[in-house]
């Protein structure tokens, strides 16, 4: 009998595919789109696999109008 298992995509796979398609992601986007609170861990794992991902520090406002700092991860290729 042949093994016809379909490999389930992981959060890491989905985030990597998103980075390739859209070139960047933030923690808020990762939570909204993929339900993950651990984007930093996933980015670290992708970097260990040899992917070049730059961390860009950003400033903005939260929903209350307070100034906030956050990271945007930008895909730079292999």
Give the pLDDT of residue 44: 98
pLDDT of residue 2: 58
Residues of the chain with pLDDT under 50: none
pTM: 0.84
User: In this predicted structure, what is the pLDDT of residue 50?
Assistant: 96
pLDDT at res. 1 = 52
User: Can you tell me whether residue 14 is helix, strand or coil?
Assistant: helix
| 18 Cβ contact partners less than 8 Å away, ≥ 6 residues apart | 25, 33, 34
CA angle 16, 19, 21 (to 5 degrees): 110
DSSP code, position 46: H
Q: What is the pLDDT of residue 78?
A: 84
């Amino acid at each position: 009998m042949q093994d016809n298992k379909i490999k389930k995509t992981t959060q890491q796979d989905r985030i990597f595919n998103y980075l390739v398609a859209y070139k960047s992601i933030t923690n808020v986007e990762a939570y909204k789109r993929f339900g993950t609170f651990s984007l930093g861990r996933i980015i670290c794992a992708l970097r260990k696999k040899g992917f070049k991902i730059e961390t860009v520090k950003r400033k903005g406002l939260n929903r209350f109008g307070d100034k906030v700092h956050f990271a945007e991860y930008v895909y730079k290729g292999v």
